Structure 1
């Protein structure tokens, strides 16, 4: 058992991964034989990730607020506190806050055995973002 009493400082999400303001609290990082990464990610209104994919997929558990998630080729979906989303391995997707509310989620993923992590794609454009269900 390992108990951590002093969490790492909240980090600003890297601008190459996020449009808008977002912050990350690392909850768990791969260590020893564990390959799981868990981050608590806080998105300001309108903030969202870039298109990206994870070799072994990702699970999102929304803890506060309202946001959006979209897989390439599909519609954007509203996500709210209590919702969980399972994104398949290598599926291009993005996620973030609604235009008017903050959204916080746990991002849970298994890091591939070879150490490869998420692959970053292009920015989510304003056209892609505003085509979501909040503007209709």
Structure 2
């Protein structure tokens, strides 16, 4: 058993997020575990760029109301206590609704070869985000 200290919270990079988003790393697995977990906090209106994860991603909402969208136009409104499972290589985005904060635990696995499990893509257009908030 090992007790890990609280790690510093960082502001996420503007090239992968719109708005103010903060991330606190929780766990980065070392062989044989490849699990990575972080607490991600989105201010109202903040969101990720489009992205995909080689081995998928699980999001567990801990606070507030958020949105998760996929390339086919589907949008989920997510609430505290709910969990969303994004399959491997599915292009998606997620973030807070326009009028509330949203926090979630982001859980994903590193690729077996140790490479970056996330492929970051372009920002989510404001029009698409605004439409998602109306659903």
User: What TM-score results when the alignment is normalised by the length of structure 1?
Assistant: 0.95
Residue in structure 1 matched with residue 118 of structure 2 by the alignment: 118
Please tell me whether residue 92 in structure 1 is matched to residue 91 in structure 2. yes
- Structure 1: which 4+ aligned runs deviate by more than 2 Å? none
Give the aligned CA root-mean-square deviation in angstroms: 1.0
Please tell me whether residue 109 in structure 1 is matched to residue 108 in structure 2. yes
Uncovered stretches (5+) of structure 2, i.e. residues with no partner: none
Please tell me whether residue 127 in structure 1 is matched to residue 127 in structure 2. yes
Residue in structure 2 matched with residue 83 of structure 1 by the alignment: 82
User: What TM-score results when the alignment is normalised by the length of structure 2?
Assistant: 0.95
Rounded to whole Å, the distance in 2 between the matches of 1:89 and 1:74 is: 18
Count of residue pairs brought into register by the alignment: 134
The alpha-carbon deviation at position 135 of structure 1 amounts to 2.6
Uncovered stretches (5+) of structure 1, i.e. residues with no partner: none
Rounded to whole Å, the distance in 1 between the matches of 2:22 and 2:108 is: 18
